[in-house]
Structure 1
Amino acid sequence: MTLKYPASNEHYLPRYIDFELDELTSAPAIAIDGPKAVGKSETATRRADRTYFLDRDNERELLQADMDALLLSEEILCIDEWQHLPSVWDAIRRNVDKHVNSRYLLTGSATPLEGVDTHSGAGRVISLRMRPLALSERAGIEPTVRIEDLFTGKATITGATSYSLSDYSHALCATGLPGVYEQPARLRRQLIDAYIQRVIDRDVPDQGLMVRKPESLRAWWAAYAAASSTTTSYIKILNAASPGDSAKISKDAALGYRDILTKLWLLEPVPAWFPNRTPFKRLTAAPKHQIFDPGIAAALLGLTPEMLVSQESGSWELFGQLFESLVTLTVRAAGQAAEAKVSHLRTQGGAQEVDLILERYDGKVVAFEVKLKPTPTDKDVRHLHWLADQIGPRLVDKVVVTTGTHAYRRPDGVAVVPLALLG
């Protein structure tokens, strides 16, 4: 893929979503959804002639006062944080129905509050998810293996990287937030902690959930982070959030936390794969838990890069889980640009499981295993071969993502790709 739209800011890092926006230039309305601070406004405003920032009272009041007239424009309009004025969504939908010449980009960090009635926008407004920076989107990373090419079945698996376990631990803990990840370590830690605290103190109450004990929400969120890349039951997460506490968080309260954080795009579980036209009969329906950014998960758990790489600290297993989270972020972002969606496969009882299934719009599949080691063994790839036996030519490539230094293809056809080379 080659980015068509020129960067107006020399410091702007092209994002996978830019490729999608390049190919959707004729769409009358596109909504870019995602958590705060992932770069939605920067990406959208670059492409707009006029932007209304609706988290500012004066601009929200201006648009509300004369909405019909201001939305009729020959310019490309960006409506930033549109959820602060939900009626703008329906006004844009009506303009799309009327085939006006205006074009719209909407960005949002939350879904509207319950009770606010807006039309779904189906068939009128295209929705795109924007996530934190995948590793391959960050400065200094030069991928050599493209997910888009894997779907051709003829991808060239080559390249070398100097990225080490220590580098991955630092990249993971730095987060993929554009304004955070390159900051000095102490400032970065302060910014990450402030981000988490704002979610608890401001963003969650703004969504209508009054949290009497903010520490309970943080404990539940941390327990959820500890379950990253697993299918741990919500009951176990709930118990982990309040060990030995006679006044445990209720299940309803925990599910309320989950729903609110989902509306804020801060949780993004990997759904179980239920493919059509396959012989599978006993697949688990449980999703894999994921927080939107593995660096936020690490901060919630009090983990540092040094702790992750220390096998004596008890954090090694968590390093593996969070490394899979970082791989998932990369596969999701690059996969979305290739019109593919991510899920996972696990048979009931766990006899067979595949970490990530990337399925394109045409039914073609690329399967990924994730290993926190440089060189996979035959045992590590056995589930990939099992999947190939089940779905045949639909599986166009099999990949093990590692922490090694070289990308290569094994004699059995499995591609071995260090994460730093995947994009």
Structure 2
Amino acid sequence: MAGYQRRLLDTELDELLPALAAVAIEGPKGVGKTATAQRRADTSFELDDAEQQRLLAADPARINRATGTVLIDEWQRYPAIWDDIRRSVDQNPQPGRFILTGSAAPVVTPVHSGAGRIVQLRMRPMSLTERGLDTPTVSLTALLAGTRPQIEGEASMDLPAYVEEILRSGFPGIRHLPPRARRAQLDGYLARIVERDFHDQGYQVRKPATLRAWLQAYAAATATTTAYNAILDAAAPGESDKPAKTTTIAYRDVLTQLWLLDPIPGWLPVDNPFARLAQAPKHHLADPALAARLLNLDAATLLETTPQRRPHGRAMIGQLFESLVALSLRTYAQTVEADIAHLRTRNADHEIDFIITGPGGRIVALEVKLARTVDDNDVTHLHWLHTKVGDLLADTAIITTGPYAYRRPDGIAVIPASLLGP
């Protein structure tokens, strides 16, 4: 397909489709699921088209008569197709038969989970590696191997360039637009969530302004473990008729069904050497560009160095940069079959931004610093973690906005965000 930019998910599909009969690609609207699936499909059924829904409802066996790989696009619009495919796979488990794509969890849950028949993969907005900004020189796979690989490379990116990437987003159809058109598209994306997507998920939004305010408060809590009650208070400060807790729980549930919330869970090691670990998730939207747009932040505000102009914007730059790194790390971790979490002790005396757990249970600990350079104060928590877990710790690193990748004399790697890849 002309103009297609290969995604890391393609690497997973290259490995899985020759062995599996059915794969479901799930993620928020606009991340590129259909474009990726269409490159591998011989026949397509687009279920956001009511006529195609009716055709399949009248004759479910059409999927069995189709030749080659069959794409079922937006399958959640007709949830019965899930069980039709599951039964078809039971009868004929030939590899590469079906690809499903979905941008929301179905309102009507399929009768069967599909376990053992349909393998589900998450697709996110484009990571830094997928955006082609720099050629990665450091591999997450090598870090997880525990061989302490040589760390080197020079990045072309600096802080203004990372801010631009936050604002441009990782949505393929949005990121290359001129700035005003891009802002309009992001505004339209958010408006569609409030005005249409909630309704499509069976939830009637009685006060759209309240949902919008909750989204803004969640965006302001990006990369923090702020309690949901505090997010609610921030969304409706001083109001006597705040929405009920059940309402805001519904907001969270529907946004999760739409794949728009992508929190990082708290770390719980299998052999827990810690007396007290907090488990609250760190909040992240699917793309930090959505958070920036909800808060009406632009590059000038985020890069402002004096307190006169909207100081809250300057305070958000670190959180949004961490969220950009989180988006990339989640994509890399999935590619290499690893899990991602964060570490925070309950009294908050030790925090580590990311704990990546690879096959076999060894971990890589990563801190994010919005700076070009690293000093001894920045690595305190990483040294502390090594004293707690010993050889379980395969490697440690600080992710920066600086130009150079290298290893410090104490063994901790310093890696520009654009130079880290899967």
2:347 to 340, 346, 349: 349
- Tell me the residue number matched to 1:41: 34
Task: State how far apart, in whole Å, the 1-side matches of 2:151 and 2:287 are.
Answer: 27
The question of 1:129 aligning with 2:122 is answered yes
Aligned positions, number: 414
* Contact map agreement 1:352 1:383 (CA 8 A) in 2: yes
* Contact map agreement 2:126 2:170 (CA 8 A) in 1: yes
Q: Which amino acid aligns with 1:143?
A: P
- Tell me the residue number matched to 2:286: 292
Task: State how far apart, in whole Å, the 2-side matches of 1:123 and 1:328 are.
Answer: 30
Deviates more, 1:337-346 or 1:54-63: 54-63
Distance verdict in 2 for CA 1:301–1:152, change over 3 Å: same
- Tell me the residue number matched to 1:385: 383
* Contact map agreement 2:27 2:33 (CA 8 A) in 1: yes
Encode CA deviations 1:319-375: one digit per residue, 9 max, x unaligned.
100100000001110111000111111111111111001111321211110000111
- Tell me the residue number matched to 1:19: 11
* Contact map agreement 1:13 1:139 (CA 8 A) in 2: no
Q: Which amino acid aligns with 1:379?
A: N
- Tell me the residue number matched to 2:73: 80
Task: State how far apart, in whole Å, the 2-side matches of 1:140 and 1:348 are.
Answer: 38
RMSD: 1.3
What's the TM-score, normalizing by structure 2? 0.95
Task: State how far apart, in whole Å, the 2-side matches of 1:191 and 1:204 are.
Answer: 19
* Contact map agreement 1:278 1:390 (CA 8 A) in 2: no
Task: State how far apart, in whole Å, the 1-side matches of 2:274 and 2:15 are.
Answer: 35
Task: State how far apart, in whole Å, the 2-side matches of 1:422 and 1:316 are.
Answer: 25
- Tell me the residue number matched to 1:138: 131
CA shift for structure 1 position 59: 1.8
CA shift for structure 1 position 30: 0.7
Task: State how far apart, in whole Å, the 1-side matches of 2:93 and 2:381 are.
Answer: 52
**Structure 1: gaps (5+ residues):** 1-7
- Overall identity of the aligned pairs, in %: 48
* Contact map agreement 1:357 1:367 (CA 8 A) in 2: yes
- Tell me the residue number matched to 1:148: 141
What's the TM-score, normalizing by structure 1? 0.95
2:222 to 225, 228, 251: 228
* Structure-to-structure mapping, 1:169-208, within 5 angstroms: 169-208=163-202
Distance verdict in 2 for CA 1:73–1:182, change over 3 Å: same
CA shift for structure 1 position 259: 0.5
1:363 to 346, 356, 361: 361
The ranges of structure 1 where at least 4 consecutive aligned residues each deviate by more than 6 angstroms after the TM superposition are none
Encode CA deviations 1:176-215: one digit per residue, 9 max, x unaligned.
1000011101110110100000111000111111111101
* Structure-to-structure mapping, 1:273-284, within 5 angstroms: 273-284=267-278
Q: Which amino acid aligns with 1:12?
A: Y
Task: State how far apart, in whole Å, the 2-side matches of 1:395 and 1:95 are.
Answer: 45
CA shift for structure 1 position 219: 0.4
* Contact map agreement 1:72 1:100 (CA 8 A) in 2: no
Q: Secondary structure at the match of 2:24?
A: strand
CA shift for structure 1 position 67: 1.2
